[in-house]
Amino acid sequence: MATKTAKPEAVSLPLNEILAGDCIEVMRGLPAGSVDLIFADPPYNLQLRGELHRPDNSRVDAVDDHWDQFASFAAYDRFTRDWLAEAQRILKPNGAIWVIGSYHNIFRVGAALQDQGFWILNDVVWRKANPMPNFRGKRLTNAHETLIWASRSEGAKYTFNYEALKALNEGVQMRSDWVLPICTGSERLKDAAGDKAHPTQKPESLLHRVLVATTNPGDVVLDPFFGTGTTGAVARMLGRSFIGIEREEGYRRIAAERIARVRPYDRSALEITTSKRAEPRVPFGTLVERGMLRPGEVLVSPRGQTAKVRADGTLAADRMTGSIHQVGAHYEGAPSCNGWTYWHFKREGKMVPIDLLRQQIRAEMDRPQAH
């Protein structure tokens, strides 16, 4: 949890540390292909920071005419493309990124992500349960922020814990709109004067959902705009490693203290609901080899179609032979068919899906074995 300066020549990953400095420069010192996930909450105020420059590098003092507006957009785009390029380099090939923003900056970030070759997986709306009203009544209450979830490149095998998110949502597929409260109360960090320590502290519930959805325990999560360390705090709770980058000394100190106070959850509590896809593949032929089904035995479909088991683990139907899936698809006239749930066999007068036999084999495989 120490705060230290990144060494550009470092090759090993500085895990669970908050690195001091400009995020682009610090990222240049991190090794390529080393991080599983990036969560980024970049600055989006185009005027306040005074760090934006025109293409000729002159400072933008005031954004009050069309040219300055364009110049500041261009400068913001350059900044965005620079940090995204480093982010992409640091990510593992199958890594992914989340970026959060509002209408001031998110469209520019999204276009930059696409131009850079990131592949957008979802845009997610954080619907704030208790937003600040629009006091002047001149616009709609700005009641949401937008997150973009993108893989490093098209075709990457990104992490998505589908069943865990479905469980989080009471058994119904998680949607792209998330209703969560803003960060208030005791969760909101205060400075010595009792004022809020950071203007845009994100709620831990938001990071909880992001990290449960798209990382596994032990993964490395990088946050290049660390602020007061919400990403690090939730990563630690959830048994993930983090790397934080933050320029402001004050934020680094608050974040380090905050994270030191975090008590990680029990390992057993971090196990999540997994999908069938993660289970080992069992060839149908194994059932025949083990004598659970005899060659010559007849399987029956829900609609009464029949097929005969052969010694090599294929099925023989009237006019064709093939795998349990192929014969099922043939009978249904369907593009595909899950033969495990389609075919049934008779035991004690009842029709039982052959998937039950697969489950028995998997249960045997799950028993602890000598090592």
Site for a copy of itself in 89-148 (CB under 8 A): 102-104, 106-111, 113-115, 117, 120-125, 127, 129-131, 133-134, 137-144, 146, 148
Q: Please identify, using beta-carbon distances, which residue of 1 and 168 lies nearer to DNA.
A: 168
User: Toward a copy of itself, which CB reaches closer, 30 or 71?
Assistant: 71
CB of residue 11 to DNA, shortest distance in Å: 29
Query: By C-beta, is 9 or 61 nearer to DNA?
Result: 61
Q: Which does 185 bind (CB under 5 to 8 A by kind): DNA, a copy of itself, none?
A: DNA
Say whether residue 242 binds a copy of itself (CB under 8 A): no
Nearer to DNA, 34 or 200 (CB): 200
First-residue to last-residue Cα distance in the chain: 36
Question: Which position among 8, 33, 295, 302 is part of the footprint of a copy of itself (CB under 8 A)?
Answer: 295
Contact between 164 and a copy of itself per CB under 8 A: yes
With beta carbons less than 8 A apart as the criterion, state whether 151 and 121 touch.
yes
What is d(CA 144, CA 126) in angstroms, rounded to the nearest whole number? 5
Nearer to DNA (CB atom), residue 64 or residue 266: 64
Query: Which does residue 168 bind out of DNA, a copy of itself, none, counting CB within 5 to 8 angstroms by kind?
Result: a copy of itself
- Is 273:167 a contact under the CB 8 Å cutoff? yes
Q: Which does 295 bind (CB under 5 to 8 A by kind): a copy of itself, DNA, none?
A: a copy of itself
H helix or E strand, kind and range, residue 180: strand 177-180
Locate tokens 């390529």: which residue? 32
Cα within 13 Å of Cα(92), Cβ side: 15
Q: What are phi and psi of 316, to 5 degrees?
A: -110, 120
Residue 52 to residue 71: CA distance in whole angstroms? 9
5's contact among DNA, a copy of itself, none, with CB below 5 to 8 A by partner kind, is none
Strand 315-316 relative to strand 306-309, pairing: antiparallel
List all residues 6 or more positions away from 354 whose beta carbon is below 8 Å from its beta carbon: 284, 287, 293, 299, 324, 339, 340, 343, 344, 345
Asked if residue 176 binds a copy of itself (CB under 8 A), the reply is: yes
Question: Alpha carbon of 24 to those of 81, 87, 171, 247, 264: distances in Å?
Answer: 10, 9, 41, 11, 30
Contacts of residue 292, defined as CB under 8 A and 6 or more positions apart, other chains included, come to 357, 360
Nearer to a copy of itself, 3 or 305 (CB): 305
Considering the complex, what minimum distance in angstroms separates the CB of residue 75 from a copy of itself? 13
- Closest to a copy of itself by CB, 12 vs 173, is 173
Among 9, 12, 281, 368, binds a copy of itself (CB under 8 A): 281
Q: Does 25 bind a copy of itself (CB under 8 A)?
A: no
* Partner from a copy of itself, DNA, none binding residue 25, C-beta < 5-8 Å depending on class: none
Among 43, 316, 317, 355, binds a copy of itself (CB under 8 A): 316
Is 48 or 269 the residue whose CB approaches a copy of itself more closely? 269
CB-CB contact of 256 with 3 (8 Å): yes
Residue placing its CB nearer to DNA in the complex, 297 or 355:
355
Least distance (Å) between residue 340 CB and a copy of itself: 11
**CA-to-CA dists, residue 169 to 164, 165, 172, 182, angstroms:** 9, 6, 6, 19
Please state, in angstroms and rounded to a whole number, the distance separating the CA atoms of residues 262 and 271.
19
How far apart CA 166 and CA 275 sit, in angstroms, is: 10
For residue 312, the partner it binds in a copy of itself, DNA, none, with Cβ less than 5 to 8 A by kind, is: a copy of itself
Site for a copy of itself in 257-276 (CB under 8 A): 265-266, 268-273, 275
Please identify which residue in 4, 22, 28, 154 interacts with a copy of itself, judged by CB under 8 A.
154
